[in-house]
Protein backbone atom coordinates (compact mmCIF):
# COMPACT_ATOMS: atom_id res chain seq x y z
CA UNK A 1 0.00 0.00 0.00
CA UNK A 2 2.81 2.39 0.90
CA UNK A 3 4.59 1.64 -2.38
CA UNK A 4 1.36 2.28 -4.31
CA UNK A 5 0.83 5.60 -2.49
CA UNK A 6 4.42 6.68 -3.19
CA UNK A 7 4.01 5.88 -6.88
CA UNK A 8 0.78 7.88 -7.08
CA UNK A 9 2.42 10.89 -5.41
CA UNK A 10 5.38 10.71 -7.83
CA UNK A 11 2.99 10.42 -10.78
CA UNK A 12 1.56 13.86 -10.01
CA UNK A 13 4.90 15.49 -9.15
CA UNK A 14 6.91 17.74 -11.51
CA UNK A 15 9.61 15.03 -11.41
CA UNK A 16 7.36 12.41 -13.01
CA UNK A 17 9.73 11.84 -15.94
CA UNK A 18 12.73 11.33 -13.66
CA UNK A 19 10.77 8.87 -11.53
CA UNK A 20 9.82 6.83 -14.61
CA UNK A 21 13.45 6.77 -15.78
CA UNK A 22 14.63 5.72 -12.34
CA UNK A 23 12.00 2.98 -12.16
CA UNK A 24 13.34 1.54 -15.40
CA UNK A 25 16.93 1.82 -14.16
CA UNK A 26 16.40 0.54 -10.62
CA UNK A 27 13.66 -2.01 -11.09
CA UNK A 28 11.50 -0.40 -8.40
CA UNK A 29 9.84 2.92 -7.53
CA UNK A 30 12.18 5.24 -5.58
CA UNK A 31 10.93 6.31 -2.17
CA UNK A 32 12.83 9.43 -1.11
CA UNK A 33 13.52 11.08 -4.48
CA UNK A 34 16.02 13.71 -3.19
CA UNK A 35 18.58 10.95 -2.51
CA UNK A 36 18.52 9.99 -6.18
CA UNK A 37 18.56 13.58 -7.40
CA UNK A 38 21.65 14.16 -5.28
CA UNK A 39 23.29 11.01 -6.67
CA UNK A 40 22.88 12.40 -10.19
CA UNK A 41 24.37 15.84 -9.41
CA UNK A 42 28.04 16.14 -10.42
CA UNK A 43 30.24 18.72 -8.73
CA UNK A 44 30.76 20.55 -12.05
CA UNK A 45 27.17 21.74 -11.59
CA UNK A 46 27.29 22.41 -7.85
CA UNK A 47 30.58 22.34 -5.94
CA UNK A 48 29.08 22.45 -2.45
CA UNK A 49 29.43 19.01 -0.85
CA UNK A 50 25.90 19.08 0.52
CA UNK A 51 24.45 19.40 -2.99
CA UNK A 52 26.63 17.14 -5.19
CA UNK A 53 27.11 13.38 -5.30
CA UNK A 54 30.64 12.99 -3.88
CA UNK A 55 29.59 11.88 -0.40
CA UNK A 56 27.07 9.41 -1.82
CA UNK A 57 29.81 8.14 -4.15
CA UNK A 58 31.99 7.41 -1.11
CA UNK A 59 29.16 5.49 0.54
CA UNK A 60 28.21 3.57 -2.60
CA UNK A 61 31.83 2.61 -3.28
CA UNK A 62 32.12 0.97 0.15
CA UNK A 63 28.81 -0.88 -0.17
CA UNK A 64 29.54 -2.07 -3.71
CA UNK A 65 32.92 -3.44 -2.64
CA UNK A 66 31.42 -5.43 0.23
CA UNK A 67 28.59 -6.90 -1.85
CA UNK A 68 30.90 -7.86 -4.71
CA UNK A 69 33.25 -9.47 -2.17
CA UNK A 70 30.36 -11.57 -0.77
CA UNK A 71 29.26 -12.50 -4.30
CA UNK A 72 32.74 -13.70 -5.28
CA UNK A 73 33.23 -15.51 -1.95
CA UNK A 74 30.13 -17.60 -2.64
CA UNK A 75 30.75 -18.03 -6.38
CA UNK A 76 34.34 -19.26 -5.94
CA UNK A 77 34.45 -21.43 -2.78
CA UNK A 78 37.87 -22.88 -3.64
CA UNK A 79 39.70 -19.80 -4.92
CA UNK A 80 42.35 -17.93 -2.95
CA UNK A 81 42.00 -14.52 -1.33
CA UNK A 82 44.41 -13.06 -3.88
CA UNK A 83 42.37 -14.38 -6.81
CA UNK A 84 39.12 -12.93 -5.45
CA UNK A 85 40.78 -9.60 -4.61
CA UNK A 86 42.08 -9.26 -8.17
CA UNK A 87 38.69 -10.13 -9.67
CA UNK A 88 36.86 -7.73 -7.36
CA UNK A 89 39.23 -4.93 -8.38
CA UNK A 90 38.39 -5.61 -12.04
CA UNK A 91 34.65 -5.37 -11.32
CA UNK A 92 34.72 -2.19 -9.23
CA UNK A 93 37.45 -0.34 -11.14
CA UNK A 94 36.46 3.01 -12.62
CA UNK A 95 36.62 1.90 -16.27
CA UNK A 96 34.33 -1.08 -15.70
CA UNK A 97 31.78 0.93 -13.72
CA UNK A 98 31.80 3.75 -16.26
CA UNK A 99 31.13 1.28 -19.06
CA UNK A 100 28.27 -0.28 -17.08
CA UNK A 101 26.80 3.14 -16.25
CA UNK A 102 26.74 4.15 -19.92
CA UNK A 103 25.19 0.87 -21.00
CA UNK A 104 22.50 1.46 -18.36
CA UNK A 105 21.89 4.93 -19.85
CA UNK A 106 22.94 6.78 -16.71
CA UNK A 107 24.71 9.47 -18.75
CA UNK A 108 21.25 10.71 -19.79
CA UNK A 109 20.34 11.44 -16.18
CA UNK A 110 23.55 12.82 -14.66
CA UNK A 111 23.59 16.59 -14.23
CA UNK A 112 27.03 17.97 -15.16
CA UNK A 113 28.62 20.85 -17.00
CA UNK A 114 28.17 19.74 -20.60
CA UNK A 115 30.29 22.63 -21.84
CA UNK A 116 33.31 20.82 -20.39
CA UNK A 117 33.84 18.24 -23.13
CA UNK A 118 36.47 16.41 -21.10
CA UNK A 119 33.91 15.44 -18.46
CA UNK A 120 31.85 13.32 -20.84
CA UNK A 121 35.00 11.31 -21.61
CA UNK A 122 35.93 10.87 -17.95
CA UNK A 123 34.61 8.43 -15.33
CA UNK A 124 31.87 10.67 -13.93
CA UNK A 125 29.10 8.25 -14.96
CA UNK A 126 30.75 5.36 -13.14
CA UNK A 127 31.14 7.63 -10.13
CA UNK A 128 27.45 8.52 -10.39
CA UNK A 129 26.61 4.80 -10.43
CA UNK A 130 28.41 4.43 -7.11
CA UNK A 131 26.51 7.45 -5.80
CA UNK A 132 23.26 5.86 -7.00
CA UNK A 133 24.12 2.74 -5.01
CA UNK A 134 24.55 4.99 -1.98
CA UNK A 135 21.14 6.51 -2.63
CA UNK A 136 19.52 3.07 -2.90
CA UNK A 137 21.08 2.11 0.44
CA UNK A 138 19.82 5.24 2.22
CA UNK A 139 16.37 4.90 0.69
CA UNK A 140 15.79 1.14 0.86
CA UNK A 141 18.43 -0.43 3.12
CA UNK A 142 21.10 -3.08 2.63
CA UNK A 143 18.97 -5.99 1.39
CA UNK A 144 17.41 -3.94 -1.42
CA UNK A 145 20.82 -2.51 -2.33
CA UNK A 146 22.29 -6.00 -2.54
CA UNK A 147 19.42 -7.07 -4.80
CA UNK A 148 19.89 -3.98 -7.01
CA UNK A 149 23.61 -4.61 -7.44
CA UNK A 150 23.24 -8.31 -8.20
CA UNK A 151 20.14 -8.12 -10.42
CA UNK A 152 20.50 -4.74 -12.13
CA UNK A 153 24.28 -4.42 -12.42
CA UNK A 154 26.25 -7.66 -12.14
CA UNK A 155 23.87 -10.11 -13.82
CA UNK A 156 23.06 -8.04 -16.96
CA UNK A 157 26.27 -6.04 -17.39
CA UNK A 158 29.27 -7.83 -15.80
CA UNK A 159 30.77 -10.73 -17.76
CA UNK A 160 32.71 -12.49 -15.01
CA UNK A 161 34.25 -15.07 -17.37
CA UNK A 162 35.62 -12.33 -19.63
CA UNK A 163 36.98 -10.35 -16.69
CA UNK A 164 38.73 -13.47 -15.38
CA UNK A 165 40.71 -13.79 -18.60
CA UNK A 166 41.32 -10.07 -19.14
CA UNK A 167 44.53 -8.42 -18.02
CA UNK A 168 43.48 -4.94 -16.90
CA UNK A 169 46.83 -4.04 -15.36
CA UNK A 170 47.83 -1.69 -18.17
CA UNK A 171 50.93 -0.48 -16.35
CA UNK A 172 52.38 -3.99 -16.13
CA UNK A 173 51.54 -4.68 -19.78
CA UNK A 174 53.30 -1.48 -20.85
CA UNK A 175 56.36 -2.21 -18.73
CA UNK A 176 56.53 -5.76 -20.11
CA UNK A 177 56.38 -4.39 -23.67
CA UNK A 178 59.11 -1.86 -22.88
CA UNK A 179 61.40 -4.55 -21.46
CA UNK A 180 60.96 -6.77 -24.52
CA UNK A 181 61.64 -3.85 -26.87
CA UNK A 182 64.52 -2.27 -24.91
CA UNK A 183 62.54 0.90 -24.15
CA UNK A 184 62.75 3.05 -21.05
CA UNK A 185 59.40 4.00 -19.53
CA UNK A 186 58.67 6.39 -16.69
CA UNK A 187 55.45 7.54 -15.02
CA UNK A 188 55.89 11.23 -14.25
CA UNK A 189 53.54 13.29 -12.10
CA UNK A 190 52.63 16.42 -14.08
CA UNK A 191 50.03 17.97 -11.83
CA UNK A 192 48.16 17.72 -8.54
CA UNK A 193 45.16 20.00 -8.12
CA UNK A 194 41.99 20.28 -6.10
CA UNK A 195 38.67 20.09 -7.93
CA UNK A 196 35.74 20.57 -5.60
CA UNK A 197 36.78 18.65 -2.51
CA UNK A 198 38.98 16.05 -4.21
CA UNK A 199 42.55 15.99 -5.42
CA UNK A 200 43.11 15.15 -9.09
CA UNK A 201 46.46 13.73 -10.23
CA UNK A 202 47.79 13.89 -13.79
CA UNK A 203 50.43 11.33 -14.78
CA UNK A 204 52.45 11.32 -18.01
CA UNK A 205 53.88 8.26 -19.77
CA UNK A 206 57.39 9.07 -20.97
CA UNK A 207 59.06 6.61 -23.35
CA UNK A 208 62.73 7.08 -24.19
CA UNK A 209 62.52 10.65 -22.97
CA UNK A 210 59.45 11.56 -25.02
CA UNK A 211 56.02 12.16 -23.48
CA UNK A 212 53.46 9.90 -25.14
CA UNK A 213 50.21 10.15 -23.17
CA UNK A 214 48.72 11.53 -19.98
CA UNK A 215 46.01 10.29 -17.64
CA UNK A 216 44.10 11.77 -14.72
CA UNK A 217 42.62 10.14 -11.64
CA UNK A 218 41.79 10.56 -7.97
CA UNK A 219 45.10 8.91 -7.01
CA UNK A 220 48.42 8.33 -8.76
CA UNK A 221 47.73 4.62 -9.33
CA UNK A 222 44.45 5.30 -11.13
CA UNK A 223 45.97 8.14 -13.18
CA UNK A 224 48.90 5.91 -14.15
CA UNK A 225 46.58 3.12 -15.28
CA UNK A 226 44.54 5.55 -17.41
CA UNK A 227 47.72 6.92 -19.02
CA UNK A 228 49.10 3.40 -19.57
CA UNK A 229 45.88 2.27 -21.24
CA UNK A 230 46.09 5.22 -23.65
CA UNK A 231 49.74 4.38 -24.38
CA UNK A 232 48.88 0.72 -25.09
CA UNK A 233 46.18 1.82 -27.52
CA UNK A 234 48.49 4.30 -29.27
CA UNK A 235 51.33 1.78 -29.54
CA UNK A 236 48.92 -0.99 -30.64
CA UNK A 237 50.20 -3.37 -27.99
CA UNK A 238 48.19 -6.58 -28.03
User: Residue 49 gets which letter from DSSP?
Assistant: G
Q: Which of 57, 61, 139, 222 is catalytic?
A: 61
Reply yes or no on whether 191 is catalytic. no
CA 213 – CA 202 distance, rounded (Å): 10
Nearest to 189 by CA among 175, 176, 200: 200
Given the residues 47, 95, 116, 130, the one annotated as active site: 130
Helix axes 54-75, 81-92, angle to 10 degrees: 140
Is 159 among the residues known to form the active site?
no
CB 223 within 8 A of CB 231: no
Give the H/E segment covering residue 217: strand 210-217
Q: What share of the chain is helix, strand, coil (3-state, %, to 5)?
A: 65, 15, 25
What does each C-alpha distance from 191 to 30, 117, 199, 202 come to in angstroms? 40, 20, 10, 5
Task: For the sheet with 185-195, list strands across it.
Answer: 185-195, 198-207, 210-217
* Residues annotated catalytic, as ranges: 61, 130
Amino acid sequence: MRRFTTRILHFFSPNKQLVLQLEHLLGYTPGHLPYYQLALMHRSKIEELAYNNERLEFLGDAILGSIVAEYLFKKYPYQSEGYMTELRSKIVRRETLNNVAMRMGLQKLVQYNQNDRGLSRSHIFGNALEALIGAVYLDKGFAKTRSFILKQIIKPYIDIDTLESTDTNYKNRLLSWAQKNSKTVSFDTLDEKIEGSRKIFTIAIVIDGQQLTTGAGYNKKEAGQVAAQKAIEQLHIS
